[in-house]
Every structure is written in structure tokens, then in C-alpha cells.
Amino acid sequence: MMMTKNAYRLGGVAAALALLAGTSSFLVQAADDRQATSAPVKTALTVSVTSAAQADWAQTLQANGSVAAWQETVVGAELSGLRLAEVQANVGDRVKRGQLLAQLSADSVKAELAQSRAGAAEAQATLAEAQANAERARSLQTSGAISASQVQQYLTAAATAKARLEAAQARVQADELRLSQTRIVANDDGVISARAATAGSMVQPGQELFRLIRKGRLEWRAEVPADELSRLSSGMAVRVNVSDKASGAAPVNGKVRMVAPTVDPQTRMGLVYVDLDSANSLRAGTFARGEFQLARSQTLSLPQTAVLLRDGFSYVYRVGADNRVTRLKVQTGRRLGDRIEVLGGVDAAAKVVTSGAGFLSEGDAVRVVAAPVAPAPVAAAAPTTVAK
């Protein structure tokens, strides 16, 4: 009986101890929870945010091509067997129509001209004598002092003398023309692009001495895919840039003059001829890249620093009301300067991380130091299609 009472007493003590231990554990857990709740949230990074800005962007078509002379004319010799006495033009010179480029030796031609002029003077004197004889014969014909056949002879002699004078005058004109051809002159305003003339050399008819870019006018011949040619038309604005940045050439504006009616069957590319407004910074034969100004459209854009490229997709981090970030997958389009077009995945009201996004992960807490409104980009060309 005594043992039973002791057993009950021991059991009560054990139960009390167990209850006390459970209560203590609960109090400790509650204290830990209160401490965790009251502790500040640790931020992952200090960031700045912005919102997608809406602006008017131009749609353009990019293409590659070469700069070439609009028209190139050949200046050559028309005489043979004459020596180049003097060359007065060189490559790169700007010349005017009729300006002397080179001079042929004209001594022999001048001598022939003097001879033909003397022959013309002699023919003129012969004609005067023949006409005087013919007039006297006509006056004596009615008196019977001279026969009709003799009168006819004088008239024929006068006509023959006149024909000989005309032939002599033609020879004079031919020699004067040959003398003028000893002066090699520019046949139009332009720029000398090539020179083959060398002082002291003998020239031949048709021999090229100079090559001239007419009016100094250049054009850009762009290669455009066949399926894009329908988007282009005459008069469309174009901006051409030399691909070689080291050249320092400034961009040149132009307009589409003509879209080629045919397409290369091998490359499926068509040529578009663009007149350049001012080609002072370009050179014929230069490879250049240009943009055709197609149309303008309203678009949303973000700074390129806000868009991350991972695994072939574009993402942005949106900051929520609790200052935690959420990763959003977005669709991107054109690029203009330091901004990129956003086609979908985020709206204009969302606050997007612009700096330090590459160090964030889903759900990270951040501290926002600034939330500037992104300035609208300058309305300028932005590529939509690239002709390869």
C-alpha cells in the first residue's frame, strides 16, 4: 500500500516536470518569433528604379552598299600623232566646264591652218577675177562681139572659182577645229577621279586622258532584300554612314532616286539608288551602311541597363510595394541610343530596377535610392530590319 502511494507521488512529480518543460519551450519559441519579427529585413542591394517611357520612334530599314559616282565621263584626245606639251589638272581637282586640263603641241596644226588660210585667200582672188570676166561676157553677149559658148565658159569659170573658195574655207574650218582640239578641256563641271595624261607622251584618238565625276555628285547603291523593296519608294529620306569609324566621315543625308526593277537571282538582293545631298565626307568606292526612314510609331522603352539577357531571353526586375523584386520576362524590339523598345511583359506603371539588376535574384529585398522618370528619347531613326 505504501509502495502504491509512492508510485503515485513520483508520477505526479514527473508530470509536473514535463508540463514545466513544455511551457518553457513554448516561451522560448515565442521569444524567438518576436525577435525574428522585430529584426529588420536585410536588403540585398541598393538600386535605382525607373518606368517605361513612351515616345515617338521612327521605323527604319538598314542596308549595306557602296558609294559610287553618279555619272563618270571620260576626257580623251581626238587627234593623233601629237605630243602632250602640258598637263594642268590632277586627281582630286574640281574643274569647270571648258577649263583647260592639258595642252597638245600645236605647231604643226598652226602651220597647216596658215597654209589653208592662204589657199582660201588665193581662191577668193580667183573667184573675184572669174566673176568680173563673167560680168563682162554678159555685157558683150548682146553686141555679138563674143559667142554664146565663150560666155558660157566665163560663167562656168566663175562657178568653179566659187566652189574652190568654199572648199578652201572648209579646209580652214577643219584646221581651226583641229587647233581647238589641241586644248583638252573639261566637258562638264566635276572632280577629276583619274588621270592617265603624262607630259611628253604621244596621244591617239579616243585615248583616255582623264576621268571626271560629273558635278562631283555621288550616290549610294544599297543592297536590299527582294521582300523589302516594296517598302521603299522614290523621295524617301536616307541617312548614310561610312562603316569605317576611323575615317571620321560624318553621316550624309540623301533621298531615294530609284529602286532597281530587277533582283539578282543569285543573292535575291535588289539595288536602291540614293542621291546624296553632300558627299564631301565620302569617297567613291567606299563601303557604307545606311538607314531608310520608313515611318514613325509610339513605343515603350527602357534603359538598356534595365534589361538582362539570360538563356536567350530578356528579363527585368520589378520592385513591389514591399521593396522586394520580381523577375519578369519581356519582349524587346528596336534599340535607339541607350534605350531599348519593350514590346510586352511590363507596363508603363511598373517600377523597374535600372542599376545593379545583374546581382539580384527573385524575391530579394532592395533599398530604392531614387525613382526618376525616364526622359523621352529624342525622336530619331531606330532600326527595325537589317538587310544582310
pLDDT of 170 strictly over 80? yes
- Higher confidence at residue 135 or residue 11? 135
CA atoms within 13 A on the CB side of 237: 12
Residue pLDDT, tens place only, 247-296: 556 788 999 999 999 999 999 999 999 999 876 667 888 888 998 988 77
User: How many whole angstroms separate alpha carbon 204 and alpha carbon 312?
Assistant: 67
Mean pLDDT of 83-93: 93
Residue pLDDT, tens place only, 297-325: 778 888 888 888 888 889 988 888 888 88
Query: pLDDT value at position 7?
Result: 47
| pLDDT bracket for residue 385 (50, 70, 90) | low
- Angle of helix 148-180 relative to helix 107-141, nearest 10 degrees, comes to 160
Residue 35 CB coordination number (10 Å): 9
Is the distance from CB of 29 to CB of 328 less than 8 angstroms? no
Query: pLDDT value at position 360?
Result: 82
**Would you state the cell numbers that stand for residue 247, as one nine-digit string?**
575615317
Single-letter amino acid code for the residue at 62? Q
Mean pLDDT of 82-95: 93
pLDDT of 367 strictly over 60? yes
Q: What percent of the chain has pLDDT over 70?
A: 81
Burial class (CB in 10 A: 0-12, 13-18, 19+), 240: buried
Among 221, 211, 257, 251, CA closest to 236 = 257
Distances (CA, A) of 203 to 77, 154, 185, 251, 258: 7, 48, 15, 42, 39
Mean pLDDT of 155-164: 92
Query: pLDDT value at position 44?
Result: 65
- Higher confidence at residue 44 or residue 230? 230
| pLDDT bracket for residue 370 (50, 70, 90) | low
pLDDT of 142 strictly over 50? yes
| pLDDT bracket for residue 152 (50, 70, 90) | confident
Mean pLDDT of 124-141: 88
pTM for the model = 0.58
Mean pLDDT of 65-91: 92
pLDDT of 379 strictly over 70? no
Query: pLDDT value at position 36?
Result: 45
Residue pLDDT, tens place only, 5-54: 454 455 554 555 555 455 445 444 544 555 544 445 555 678 888 888 88
pLDDT of 84 strictly over 90? yes
Mean pLDDT of 230-251: 77
Q: Cβ neighbours of residue 243 under 8 Å, at least 6 residues apart?
A: 64, 287, 288, 289
Strand pairing report for 45-50 and 366-370: parallel
Query: pLDDT value at position 33?
Result: 52
User: How many whole angstroms separate alpha carbon 285 and alpha carbon 219?
Assistant: 10
User: In sequence order, which ranges of 43-147 are alpha helices (DSSP H)?
Assistant: 107-141
Average pLDDT, the chain: 81
Mean pLDDT of 133-142: 83
Single-letter amino acid code for the residue at 51? S
Instruction: Give rounded-to-5 percent helix, strand, coil for the chain.
Output: 30, 40, 30
Residue pLDDT, tens place only, 337-356: 788 888 888 888 888 888 77
User: How many whole angstroms separate alpha carbon 295 and alpha carbon 381?
Assistant: 9
- Higher confidence at residue 217 or residue 242? 217
Largest CA distance in the chain: 204
Mean pLDDT of 42-68: 81
| pLDDT bracket for residue 380 (50, 70, 90) | very low
pLDDT of 192 strictly over 50? yes
* Residue with grid cell 547603291, as numbered in its chain: 221
